[in-house]
Chain A
Amino acid sequence: MTNIDTLTEPAVDQTTVAIATAGRPSEKSPRERSRWRSMLPSMTPWLAVGLVLVVGIILFGLITPFFAGDPNAIRDSGLMPPSAANILGTTQTGQDVFAQLATATRGSLTIGFLVGILATALSALFGILGSYLGGFADEAFSLFSNVFLVIPGLPLVIVISGFVPQQSRGLWTIAVVLAITSWAASARVLRAQTLSLRSRDYVAASKVAGEKAWRVITVEILPNLLPVLASQFVFAVIAAILGEAGLSFLGLGASNSSTLGTMLFYAQNGFALSLGAWWWFVPPGLMIALFGMGLSLINFSIDEIINPKLKNVRLHRKRAKAARKLDRGKAAA
């Protein structure tokens, strides 16, 4: 016989709470946040700066080419410093640097995002699928990723570009080559995350319930991988823009394309350096650096979602400091 009589004994929680709160004013219950809202990063100065930079540069690349004038128009006024007529001066052949910058930004962004999507798709395929299936597939995919990881990327791209004749080097060729040489690092990160998620209880539960593999991946695993995927996508875009810029600077980029890298290629060949034409070669590189910085700052905020320890340390220090100040203020008063 048990001693518990459900009819006469009230629930434990009610009793203990009643005892505890007797004589004390009730405290508010914590505000509820929906699951999706809590997945978004909280606004910080870093995130704000990052968003401003990224959105600003994207808008610049999309809209400005429409009214900045013709970047290819040749004039007599070669290598003129910034003036009222040309905000950023002219190139060796009298072309307007500002107009070129706008078009080049659009070109770089296009290829950056294109390669970013391709590379992320590849790394998702090799990283997530393989590790979810486990066993031999996992070992094989993982070995494949690791081998691609250690084989140096840019030399491989250079060699491939070198063997392809100049005419056939279109935008898509370059994009595919860049994507092939950069997916491996992300695949490794995604694999590690999937491995840790795969062993969680809710995944086991749906497998036991008889869900098909693709359903388990899309419904249970992918939503939890979203922050990591987003972060890897951002890395891929940064790497793609830098990679493409490097290729174009070396003269190995896509023919007929106009990117920030090709701008620097022409600047280098037009002796901008030795002639001191800083307005020609500083802006393109600065544009790449600022865009990369913006993306990195956004990535920091995504990192804080993936790893809440990063966010909380800063926040807690701030709050404790504020509370201490409040106390000291009260004591002094």
Chain B
Amino acid sequence: MTIADTQSLDASTSGRRPAVLTVEDLSVVYEVEDPVTAVRNATFTLAPGEILGLAGESGCGKTTLAYAINRLHRPPARISSGSVTFHDRDGSDVDVLSLGDEAMRRFRWDKLSMVFQGAMNALNPVTTIRAQLDDTLRAHRPHMKRKERLERSADVLRRVGVDPNRLSSYPHELSGGMRQRVMIAMAMLLEPQLMIMDEPTTALDVVVQRDILREIVRLRDELSFAVIFITHDLPLLLEISDRIAVMLQGEIVELAPAAQIYAEARHPYTQKLLGSFPSLSGERGAFIRTGIDEQRRAQ
């Protein structure tokens, strides 16, 4: 089975670059006793302001891929081949894998930020929210004054629906949903061009999940950053993504606009995945893709 790449470029917005990120042939190997190839020849491009969903079961390599793009992977993981190119708004191209340490540090969060899975432990437990937002700003915008930093921190919190008074709270004093919003706010601090979100809503209950998803889409519309949204929840992606990439055992087996995945998924695994989610509407016991399965049965 080959990768079906039916990317549609948005030609109406001229002056914008056609892609913000190009990943070509990226492979990541875990050098354990019997080496495991966690990501195999991943290739895709990401348009500015696009939401790309990355779906697959646990262990398929989606988180490894996300970390590798930002070079956050740690031994024993190793990038064995491929390239990651970031196409900056200002016209330059950045070869992410060959950046030096200092350049990588400056690149991170400023151009590309991340929201991690389960913000339970993603925030430093012994410092305040204000301190954690503050040190990000100090590290990347050294010329900002204290008052400006405070204002910006309060501003991003308001944007995600968190009361700015929470700046003086510690992470353990916030609920799970609030912590996740703080993480998203923190990711927006420097107005990056690309945000990678790794299962940002998995640990939350569905109502909170809905709120946060709405925020993300709204913010994307306002600030036009691109999003790589990683989750195992395919129906969720069908609702919010522009395109969806399906991963299986380290390979991207299908990459197509969301509508196309819903209507005519080509790869058998994608079909299987779609058929595994129970539907709330339709016949009792029916799955999300009753249409497809009936078709198959008829064949």
Contact = CB atoms under 8 A, between A and B. Distances in A.
B268 A323 contact: no
Contact of B272 (A12, A28, A30, A323): A12
B247 to A, nearest CB: 11
Main secondary structure of the interface of A (DSSP, over half): helix
Contact of A319 (B76, B80, B269, B276): B76
B173 interface: no
A1 B285 contact: yes
Contacts of B283: 1
A31 B35 CA distance: 12
Interface residues of B, number: 32
A319 B293 contact: no
B31 interface: yes
Contacts of B103: none
Of the listed residues B75, B272, B284, the one surrounded by the most CB atoms of chain A closer than 10 A to its CB is: B75
Nearest to A324: B78
Nearest to A12: B272
Contacts of A16: 248, 269, 272
A73 interface: no
Interface string B74-89: 1111101000000000
A30 to B, nearest CB: 6
B1 A31 contact: no
Nearest to B57: A16
Interface string A251-272: 0000000000000000000000
B157 to A, nearest CB: 33
Nearest to A29: B34
Contact of B76 (A5, A27, A320): A320
B74 A19 contact: no
A12 B251 CA distance: 18
Interface in A295-333: 315-317, 319-324, 327
Given A1-B285, A16-B269, A319 B275 contact: no
Given A3-B287, A19-B269, A317 B1 contact: no
Interface string B54-92: 000000000000000000001111101000000000000
Contacts of B294: 3
Nearest to B296: A3
A324 B76 CA distance: 11
A320 B287 CA distance: 44
A20 B29 CA distance: 17
B102 interface: no
A322 B290 CA distance: 51
Interface of A: 1-3, 5, 12, 15-16, 19-20, 22, 27-28, 30-31, 315-317, 319-324, 327
7 contacts: A3-B275, A3-B294, A19-B268, A320-B76, A323-B31, A323-B78, A324-B78
The 4 closest A-B pairs by CB, nearest first: A320-B75, A316-B75, A2-B285, A316-B76
